[in-house]
Every structure is written in structure tokens, then in C-alpha cells.
Amino acid sequence: MLRLPWDLLFKDLCKGNATVAGDALHPMTPDLGQGGCSALEDAVILARHIGNSFLKHKKFFPMEMTEALKFYVKERRWRAMALITGSYIFGRVQQGGSKWMMSFIRDNLFYRFLLRRMAGFTNFDCGKLPSMNSSKEVDDDDDHNKIE
């Protein structure tokens, strides 16, 4: 299963205090092996926005949650779209058969120019989760994937 990438751009991905994450948000072909990884990205980013909202008000406000979910959707939309598209192209090219045209595209364009770029999709920085104790924040840039 895959979701059509443009659906992520034009359709509502949250409503009130409800949203979707993981395969419910971005079902994709298995070719990049990123379905589970991106579900974890969703979780961290959603937690960051909800956490920021909580820290700002020191408690959960239902209206603020709607805003937090909107920020989450905004942040995930393009990333999910890129992963769905990249995964589809990756699979399509590799399983496209051995006719000369496909072989030519695969060997001269895909492996030479696109493969490294697409494999780079798998590197993603989810940002820092907010911490209740600001003194605990991680200063070292190399460490900025660390979850506190």
C-alpha cells in the first residue's frame, strides 16, 4: 500500500484534537525500509510539539493541542511526501526489469546520481525534545538527536 503523495499536501491530516501518525499517515512501499523509522520520527515530533505546548502553559489546554497538532502536520507533510515518493521510485527502478531502457536509466542515472541522494533520506534530525529542566538541555551539537 502507499498513499498518493499529493494527498498529503491537499488533504486534512488533523481535525480538532485528532491526527494520524505512522502507517496511518504515510503508508509506503517497502523499498527504502523507512515505514517504521518514519513512524518513530512522527512520534518524536508529535511529542516535541505537545511537550512545547505543555511547557508553555504548564498544563494541557485542549485548544492549544489543536495548534500543536497543526504544527506537527506542517512539519511532517513534506518529509512524508518525500519518503513515499522516494520509496516508490526506488522500488520501481530496481524492479523495473532488464529491458535496455530501464537498464540504462538504472545504471546511468539512478545508481550514478540518485541513489546516494535517496539513501540520504534516511538521515533525519527530529530535533530536541523539550525538557522540564532547562539546565539539562543538550548543548553539544553532535548530540542533538539525544532524547532527554
Ligand X SMILES: Cc1cc2nc3c(=O)[nH]c(=O)nc-3n(C[C@H](O)[C@H](O)[C@H](O)COP(=O)(O)OP(=O)(O)OC[C@H]3O[C@@H](n4cnc5c(N)ncnc54)[C@H](O)[C@@H]3O)c2cc1C
Q: How far apart are CA 125 and CA 139, in angstroms?
A: 15
CB closer to ligand X, 17 vs 103: 17
Q: Kindly indicate which of the ranges 21-29, 98-106, 111-119, 139-147 contains the residues binding ligand X, using the contact rule CB under 6 A.
A: 21-29
Choosing from 19, 29, 34, 85, the residue that interacts with ligand X (CB under 6 A) is: 34
CB closer to ligand X, 38 vs 53: 38
CB closer to ligand X, 37 vs 44: 37
Beta bridge partners of 14: 19
Q: Which residues contact 126 (CB under 8 A, 6 or more apart)?
A: 41, 44, 45, 48, 145
Rounded to the nearest 10°, the torsion over CA 58, 42, 118, 100 is: -160
Would you count residue 33 as binding ligand X (CB under 6 A)?
yes
Chain mean position to CA 148: 20
Would you count residue 2 as binding ligand X (CB under 6 A)?
no
Which residues in this chain contact ligand X in the complex, by CB under 6 A? 22-24, 30, 33-37, 39
